[in-house]
Amino acid sequence: MGDSLGLIGKRLLLLLNDGGSAAAAAGGAVEQAAWLRGTVRAVSVIGLVFVEFDDSHWRQRSWVQVYGDEVRAVLMESAIVWANCSDPSLSAAQWPALMFKPLVDHVGLGSLVPVEFFGPRTLAFLPNGSSLHTFEVGNCHKIFDRYDRSVDVHNHLILGLCVIYVAGLSVLKDQNKVRRLKQSGESFLQDGSCINVAPHLHKCRECRLERYRKSREDEDDDDPNVSCRFFHFRRLAFTKKGVLRVEGFLSPQQSDSMAMGLWLPSLTVHEGLDLDTSKYILANVGDQFCQLVMSEKEAMMMVEPHQKVAWKRAVRGVREMCDVCETTLFNIHWVCRKCGFGVCLDCYRLRKNRPPEEEEVFSWLKCAKGQPHEPQNLMPTQIIPGTALYSIGDMVHAARGKWGIKANCPCTSRHNKPLVRPSAPNGLSQFVKSLQGLLADTVCSGSSSCFVSESLRSVMGRDSRAPFGLDSFGTLSKPSGSSPKLFNSLLLGAGPSQPKAEGTSLRDLLNSGPGKLPQGLPNFLDHIIASVVETKKAEGRRASGSAEGGESGTAPRREGLMGLSVLDPHTSHSWLCDGRLLCLQDPSNTNNWKIFRECWKQGQPVLVSGIHKKLKGNLWKPESFSKEFGDQDVDLVNCRNCAIISDVKVRDFWDGFQVISKRLKGGDGQPMVLKLKDWPPGEDFRDMMPTRFDDLMENLPLPEYTKRDGRLNLACRLPNFFVRPDLGPKMYNAYGLISTEDRRVGTTNLHLDVSDAVNVMVYVGIPEGDSDQEKKVMQTIEEGDVDDMTKRRVYEAKEKPGALWHIYAAKDAEKIRELLRKVGEEQGQENPPDHDPIHDQSWYLDQTLRRRLYEEYGVQGWSIVQFLGDAVFIPAGAPHQVHNLYSCIKVAEDFVSPEHVKHCFRLTQEFRHLSTTHTNHEDKLQVKNIIYHAVKDAVGTLKAHEPKLGRS
């Protein structure tokens, strides 16, 4: 194998000795053979290579015996060349490619030359190598891209439709080019850092900092792709005297199709994005996208007529941020020509409109020589090239019109009026409620079937017998002969927040006669009747239980979402919180997302139980963490007073997880209630715990939403070109709070998150050394406003309770703020403008505060006990708090669902105004970029399916 070490990192093509592949190769269709592609990661002296294959799990690597009997051919990367490409999507042209040489050839390649083209990654076997010539960086070639436009390839390689610039190869290092540029006076792009290319000109902020940070010996190693703000943005030129000067900046009209390819949809169906999903994304995110476009148009109106807009090309792996509020720069922003200081639209508008006497919210950094940055001196700049943003906006309107997708967008220039499906009849919600109340007095609660009174039957115009049944989970089965789809659309569309219609009482509707009843009413009356009968039976069971157990005064159970449980009898589920919380009982059921989505889009949390039965239990035990990572230094937090204990071994935490006598003691000599602070730190979970990462990811419920490549997780639509947001997983490890005093403090205080999240209880540890702990836990649950169904999980099913949650709807966040500000003032606290009672995470709502919240503001949340194996789904923007009952190990994964993007968008604006000490202050989610690329991919998929629309 020659120099074995030289093979490491090389690309490899492998053809195994199976009948199909061999036959294909022998028949001349060698390109269609089952070639395995991968990268060599290691070699051995006995002819083995360790290969990481493409499109496989990152841990699925294997040794390959290069000269083994099962191998037909082994091709190894040889050189980068220019080759004739016959791909019709690229046009016949010279294209950069990898050329391979055979190490093993049992298929008879002969004079065929294997090449793999960059970008499309297509494999070709050229008749001979005479058409190939070596690819040399610095030589200028004309090639064609997917849009058949001539593109100048200079100092970059083509990968798909993105441009990868080669660092450190400035045109100023080529004396021939410098001579020509001096003679012509032609401008050129700055293709290196300010330090290396233009040391005598104004340097950008990053290069100025880098100059002081790096030693002289390292200056040649600078990476302009990452650090310099003027890289491929600022234009330079030589004066007649040969002095380098600033000529200006790139303009949007100078963008090329390579750059446009990142921002325009490809005309192919995207992986994991089918037609229905694309329509659903557009229905939920389209309005937010239109609002984003309108905001950009308003920003353009702020540009003075004499100002020219510059274009700053997006740089791979760089997250452009506002230097003032640290929000991700989406498109329009303002830049200083001298130092590259950049501010977002909101900060620019705030400073420009601020009266001189008013104190500024954000301080602006100074320019060179301490000069202040004035708004009028900054240069308007856009990131999205050309008019791509507005083109996508037009596509959104057109797609909504063609596919009949609902729209409520703020645009005034809608090209096609969407075909909006008619909503539920006016007053139907009130009618249903009234009908349920009337039926409650007319049905029999003790029989297996119920009958409607004669007067109602005559109004309906048919026999309204409504048989029903209960499944093994205590859930209503679907009555026969009904229309669950209609029932779903009618009932779920009505909610308590909708205004009451005038003049649509039950009496009015009944008196109007059969012909004037709301359309489709007879089809779902059986469901309403069955729901009422089930409520009667449940009340009867509860009354019976109260008589036997001595309980009294319990509220009657209400079936979730007015009978949502009858929608899909094949999905095991129940209803908690008196019928307001969906609990899915089979985490692997592939139909879970259907019923989940109906609750989720109403902003409700959801519980999924039984996940611990699928996890590898030994991986999640405290002793395994102590054994593997015990010597790591960590910080702990005392849950009782929020004090931080620094520089301790993580073993000290895990050893006391279930043994109280081994816990660290406080100043009073008592064992402390501790939680691990940011462990594993940052994004280290996958690297530090790969086996646990795989175990969690393989068993996350609702994978359509929670997996990193889930079709309803919009975060996966962000191209790899961008810095991916950190969505976890993140561990939450803490002891239990079980004393009487502990009931007023939280393991995690009230807060809210900018993205959706699922939190899985992977382990519950019941500590040794406290004989009364079970009694204390039961008392905490009783005082936690928990419903009877949840209590049965403790008393009857003997499940392990881990943590008590209180979650509130996102729409109630402002009312909660009002209460906390009021209570703070009553306690003599101050409310600084850059602080927030929820974002500060300084409050835990005990029973007294929860009661005040309900009595004074009418806000009722969900009181949830999270048992071992339970996953709690928390909607974006929903205030929530956690109180550990026992020692818990929880793992959370964030995601971005179409239903809650509006909350992500709003919260990003909220977080801007927080002080820089807040963990949520920095905009790591990049929600605007996520919205843009989700919509871009959705309209591209719909465009690809348009032929089907014509046939239908």
- What pLDDT digit, counting tens, does each position of 795-820 carry? 888 899 999 999 999 999 999 999 99
pLDDT greater at residue 45 or residue 76: 76
* Higher-pLDDT residue of 362, 424: 362
In terms of DSSP H, where are the helices of 703-802?
A: 703-706, 773-782, 788-795
pLDDT at 253 (0 to 100): 83
d(CA 570, CA 554): 30
Per-residue confidence (pLDDT) for residue 884, from 0 to 100: 95
CB atoms inside a 10 Å sphere around CB 63: 12
Average pLDDT over residues 682-696: 88
Given pLDDT bands bounded at 50, 70 and 90, which one contains residue 511?
very low
CB atoms within 10 A of CB 138: 12
Q: Write the pLDDT tens digit of every residue in 54-110.
A: 766 544 566 776 667 778 888 888 888 877 766 544 444 567 788 888 888 888 887
825, 817 Cβ separation under 8 angstroms = no
pLDDT for 403: 92
H/E segment holding residue 652: helix 650-655
Give the helix/strand (H/E) hosting 342.
strand 342-344
Residue 449 has pLDDT above 70, yes or no: no
Write down the pLDDT at residue 283. 94
CB neighbour class for 201 (10 Å; exposed up to 12, middle 13-18, buried from 19): middle
Q: In the structure, how many helices (H) and strands (E) does the chain have?
A: 26, 36
Q: How many residues are given for the chain?
A: 952
Q: Which residue has the tokens 């009340």?
A: 539
What is the pLDDT, as a whole number, of residue 866? Answer: 97
**Can you tell me the distance from the alpha carbon of 100 to that of 76, in angstroms, rounded to the nearest whole number?**
5
Q: Is 465's pLDDT higher than 80?
A: no
Mean pLDDT of all residues in 256-272: 80
Judged against a pLDDT cut of 70, whether residue 137 lies above it is answered with no
pLDDT value for 914: 59
Q: Strand 162-165 vs strand 113-117: parallel, antiparallel, or unpaired?
A: unpaired
Residue 444: partners with Cβ closer than 8 Å, 6 or more residues away:
450, 451, 533
Q: How confident is the model at residue 912 (pLDDT cuts 50, 70, 90)?
A: low
Distant-in-sequence, close-in-space partners of 230: CB < 8 Å, separation ≥ 6: 190, 194, 204, 207, 340
Report CA 816 to chain centroid distance, whole Å.
Answer: 26
pLDDT at res. 507: 40
| 138 has pLDDT over 80 | no
Q: Name which of 63-72, 145-154, 306-315, 345-354 the model is least confident about.
A: 145-154
- Above 60 in pLDDT, residue 611? yes
List, in sequence order, every beta strand (DSSP E) within 60-190.
61-65, 71-85, 93-105, 113-117, 123-126, 133-134, 141-144, 150-153, 156-159, 162-165, 188-189
Residue 145 CB neighbour total at 10 angstroms? 21
Q: At 616, give phi and psi (nearest 5°).
A: -85, 100
Whole-angstrom CA distances from 827 to 741, 830, 843, 881 are 19, 9, 13, 21
Of 731, 718, 747, 754, give the one whose Cα is nearest residue 684. 731
Residue for token pair 């000067």: 245
Residue 363 has pLDDT above 70, yes or no: yes
Q: What is the model's pLDDT at position 832?
A: 74
CA nearest to 682, candidates 635, 729, 629: 729
Largest CA distance in the chain: 103
Q: pLDDT grade, residue 731 (50/70/90)?
A: very high
Q: Which band of pLDDT confidence, cut at 50, 70 and 90, is reported for residue 462?
A: very low
Identify the band that residue 595 occupies on the pLDDT scale cut at 50, 70 and 90: very high
Report the C-alpha gap between 722 and 924 in whole angstroms: 12
Give CA–CA dist 549/543, Å, rounded.
10
Spatial CA neighbour of 733 closest among 745, 747, 714: 747
Residue of 529 and 285 predicted with greater confidence: 285
- CA 433 – CA 416 distance, rounded (Å): 38
Please state the pTM of the whole predicted model: 0.70
Mean pLDDT, residues 617-632 = 94
Q: Burial, 256: exposed, middle or buried (Cβ in 10 Å; 0-12, 13-18, 19+)?
A: middle
Share of the chain above pLDDT 70, in %: 69
Q: Mean pLDDT throughout 319-337?
A: 90
Provide the pLDDT for residue 244: 92
Which pLDDT tens digit goes with each residue over 265-298? Answer: 887 777 778 999 999 999 999 999 999 999 899 8
pLDDT tens, position by position, 213-236:
554 444 444 444 447 899 889 999
Asked whether the predicted pLDDT for residue 829 surpasses 70, the reply is yes
Q: Residue 634: its pLDDT value, please?
A: 92
* Burial (0-12, 13-18, 19+ Cβ within 10 Å), 176: exposed
Quick one: pLDDT at residue 542?
Answer: 45
In the predicted model, is pLDDT for residue 786 greater than 80?
A: yes
Q: In 3-state terms, what secondary structure has residue 25?
A: helix
What average pLDDT is seen over the chain?
Answer: 76
pLDDT digits (tens, 9 = 90+) for 756-780: 999 999 999 998 877 788 889 999 9
pLDDT at site 536: 52
Question: What DSSP state is assigned to residue 872?
Answer: E
Q: Is pLDDT of 341 > 70?
A: yes
Distances (CA, A) of 214 to 185, 211, 659: 33, 6, 50
The reported pLDDT for the residue numbered 497 is: 37
What does the pLDDT average to over 633-639? 92
- Residue 655 CA to its chain's centroid (Å): 35
pLDDT-based confidence at residue 567 (cuts at 50, 70, 90): low
Helix H or strand E encompassing 758: strand 756-765
| pLDDT band with cut points at 50, 70 and 90 for residue 627 | very high
Cα of 811 vs its chain's centroid, Å = 21
Burial 366-375, CB ≥16 within 10 A → b, else e:
ebeeeeebeb
- Name the pLDDT band for 29 (thresholds 50, 70, 90): low
Residues 941-952 have pLDDT tens digits of 998 888 877 665
In the chain, the domains with their CATH numbers are 4-17+31-167 (no CATH), 169-249 (no CATH), 584-828+837-901 (2.60.120.650)
Cα within 13 Å of Cα(271), Cβ side:
4
Tell me the three state secondary structure of residue 292: helix
| 645-680 per-position pLDDT tens digit | 998 999 999 999 999 889 999 888 889 999 998 899
Q: When comparing pLDDT for 42 and 585, which is higher?
A: 585
Confidence of residue 606 (pLDDT cuts 50, 70, 90): very high
pLDDT recorded at residue 504: 41
d(Cα 815, Cα 364) in Å, to the nearest integer?
33
Mean pLDDT of the 552-572 span: 50
CA angle 924–763–875, rounded 5-degree value: 35
Mean pLDDT over residues 294-310, rounded?
A: 90
